[in-house]
Amino acid sequence: MAGALVLIDEENASNSSSVSLTGISSTYDVYVCYLRGVVPTADANFLMRTTTGGSADSDSEYDKASEIFKANTSFGTTTDTNEAQWRINNTVGTDTNEETNHEIFLFNFNNSNEFSYYTNNSVKLNASGVAEGHFGGGSHTVKEINDGVNFFFASGNIESGNFKMYAFRK
């Protein structure tokens, strides 16, 4: 697997309203984003949108479902349909050591005949300082070419975090 990933884009947040990773093209089929140490400026849900021409798509065509595994209680589920973004993590907190980390696979983003979709694996400390894991995915129910993804919190900014997008060699 050595050399199987090609770095496409990297951004570091510093009190940023949002972070976009772009560069998806027909050169590769599958992309993966690694988000490390993402911290909000206010307790808030962590969200993601597709981008077209480098701009975030804010239509109400985002569907998703995920399982939540909590350290202090039983697991749960979250679902959203026809939203203006994907909720890829419930409330992330701002206390010391609270952050979220993600591995997000992107599929069909460069195919105008299919919906763009993702799978998400994440781990975080929530607003109560409790460890949570999320596993799920979603689709953008519009058949169009998307060139990337845009990340933001429901309120406040992204205080810090490292965002990378790679492509898998064919």
> Structural domain of residue 119, as residue ranges?
5-168
Distance between CA atoms of residues 123 and 118, nearest Å: 17
pLDDT of residue 1: 52
Other beta carbons within 10 angstroms of residue 159's beta carbon come to 18
User: Per-residue pLDDT tens for 9-50?
Assistant: 999 999 999 999 999 999 999 999 999 999 999 999 999 999
Contact 45, 158 (CB under 8 A): no
Nearest to 125 by CA among 155, 92, 151: 92
Could you tell me the CATH number of the domain that includes residue 31? 2.60.120
Asked if pLDDT for residue 2 goes beyond 80, the answer is no
pLDDT per residue as tens digits for the range 139-154? 999 999 999 999 999 9
How far CA 55 is from CA of 73, 74, 91, 148, 151, in Å, comes to 39, 38, 25, 9, 12
The tally of domains found in the chain comes to 1
